[in-house]
Amino acid sequence: MQFLVTGGAGYLGSALVRRLTSLGHDVRVFDDLSAGDPARLPPDVTFARGDVNDLPRLWTLLQGIDCVYHLAARVSVPESVRYPREYNAVNVGGTVSVLEAMRDVGVKRLVFTSSGAVYGNQSDQPLHEDLPPNPLSPYAVSKLSSEHYIHTIGRLWNVETVSLRIFNAYGPGQQLPVAHPPVVPQFIRQTLGKGSVIIHGSGDQTRDFVYVDDVVDALVRAATAPDVDRRVINVGSGTETSIMALARAIGQVMDREPDVLTVNTQGVGVSRMCADLSLAKALLGYEPHVFLQEGLHRTVLEDVRFAVPSSP
């Protein structure tokens, strides 16, 4: 098959691209490199740099494509609070542009990466897809809006669409920006540096941490799975972990006692998150295989940034 992956030079996108090429597929990548790096991509991948709202570029890249993976997005929750217009333009506007280009060229399948953030605070746990969304940030709103666009327009234009609500993905090579870094690599870096591991809030808030290889498994399956048109499907580990427990687990993996410092901060996000995977199992045959302790071990072992210098 031939695939176009928007945002394919990013952390999750490049992991997907590597898997698709290893399976023998032809892959094209379109990325503006705001958070991506083409060095992550295999040499035989066709790479184009550009804006996902650039319809003429999309028309060219979509020629002969069987399925589009749409991952291009801005992904920082705190940043979205400061710059909601940018998040709307890139995340929502970019999704509509991809759909328009697919309609014009005649590509008939789209796999969209949404987010567990669309659920917000819920009394029910684990989170199942029938719960009414309760987005608490512009980022979450942009993902939910994109879900509605792709399923509505897909029906109107005869394009098969499926949205995967991905929970907290992590693994080797995850970006560590200066502002608002993801929690797993940030805690590893803080533990490695023997400084304080900063937890915002009490640390009792929970998340569903899913290893990158498991996310890629679900994405690959979604491209060819039957009976998923206009479906929304959770992708997580199905395990609820508190932020405090995450810090301690990282300390165990690194054989270092973390110096945990809790900071009373407003806006720490939702109180609990855990994915119900029943639908993913039924429709995609998805089963997570790498759970937290093993995933953290792989991340520390395989990510060169976290290599512990040998003693002289």
Q: Which residues contact 104 (CB under 8 A, 6 or more apart)?
A: 55, 59
> End-to-end distance of the chain based on CA atoms, in angstroms?
51
Q: How many degrees, rounded to 5, is the angle at CA 96 between CA 112 and CA 279?
A: 25
Using CA atoms, how far apart are residues 262 and 258, in angstroms rounded to an integer?
12
Beta partners for residue 206, in sequence order: 242
DSSP string covering 158-198:
T-EEEEEEE-EEE-TT----SSS--HHHHHHHHHHTTSEEE
Q: What share of the chain is helix, strand, coil (3-state, %, to 5)?
A: 40, 20, 40
Using CA atoms, how far apart are residues 286 and 28, in angstroms rounded to an integer?
25
Please report where in the chains the tokens 């994405």 appear, as a residue. Answer: 219
- Whether 139 is a known active-site residue: answer yes
Amino acid at 132: P
Determine which one of 69, 87, 119, 139 is catalytic. 139
Active site residues: 139
